[in-house]
């Protein structure tokens, strides 16, 4: 790993959508970033695909100053806790509060799918351009940022990236752009290769050493 780069922290919790962040983490790792998984505790969690993950550290032990980025994947619990919030129970709310801590410290946060609803409930989308699965999904949280919703594959506003569940490649593209992993023609080629299966893009990446 590149000693000059701080780790990327990837949140993990039961029901996490394990297909949504693989493009991002694979190519961040290839670019020299250490990927550290962060759970509610250091106890094992199980993804929606049945993968058992043992977190590297607990959420309470993560500090923005030690990180390059916090990634929040989707997961069924984000939706289930949305309904439970009125009863005073929201198991994943601490992850949204950690996102606030990161953004307040100027450290990037990338949220996809259900995690965007968690950020909406935390008030982090009220004043930032953002996207999600569909606008009415976020509207159901009662948040105040409906006018800032953008119908796009992924959106970056300052240090915050959001994307819907069908856009893991666009989600990764925005992360790479924000962290400077790939830029310009190389970033475009990476996206075309993995999103559009554009074989010609492979040559651009080969030449640039980005594949």
Query: Radius of gyration of the chain from Cα atoms?
Result: 17
Nearest to 153 by CA among 128, 132, 184, 175: 132
Whole-number Å distance between alpha carbons of 66 and 38: 13
User: 58 pairs with which residues across the strands?
Assistant: 39
Phi, psi (rounded to 5 degrees) for 9: -100, 125
Q: Which of 28, 69, 72, 113 is catalytic?
A: 113
Whole-number Å distance between alpha carbons of 131 and 32: 29
- 176-203 b/e (C-beta count within 10 Å ≥ 16 → b): bbbbebbeeebbebbbbbbbeeeeebee
Q: Hey, what are 169's tokens?
A: 């490649």
How far is C-alpha 159 from the geometric centre of its chain's CA atoms? 12
Task: Based on the residue annotation, tell me whether 110 is a catalytic residue of this protein.
Answer: no
Catalytic residues: 113
């Amino acid at each position: 790993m590149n000693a000059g780069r701080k780790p990327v922290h990837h949140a993990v919790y039961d029901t996490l959508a394990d297909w949504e962040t693989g493009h991002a983490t694979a190519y961040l790792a290839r670019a020299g970033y250490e990927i550290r998984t962060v759970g509610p505790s250091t106890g094992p969690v199980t993804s929606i695909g049945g993968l058992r993950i043992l977190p590297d550290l607990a959420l309470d032990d993560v500090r923005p100053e030690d990180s390059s980025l916090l990634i929040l994947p989707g997961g069924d619990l984000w939706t289930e806790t949305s309904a439970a919030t009125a009863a005073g129970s929201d198991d994943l709310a601490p992850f949204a509060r950690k996102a606030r801590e990161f953004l307040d410290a100027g450290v990037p946060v990338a949220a996809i799918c259900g995690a965007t609803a968690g950020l909406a409930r935390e008030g982090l989308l009220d004043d930032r351009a953002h996207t999600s699965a569909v606008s009415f999904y976020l509207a159901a949280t009662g948040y105040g940022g409906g006018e800032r919703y953008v119908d796009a594959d992924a959106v970056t506003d300052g240090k915050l990236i959001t994307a819907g569940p069908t856009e893991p490649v666009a989600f990764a593209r925005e992360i790479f752009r924000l962290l400077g992993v790939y830029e310009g023609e190389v970033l475009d080629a990476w996206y075309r290769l993995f999103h559009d299966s554009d074989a010609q893009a492979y040559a651009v990446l080969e030449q640039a050493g980005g594949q």
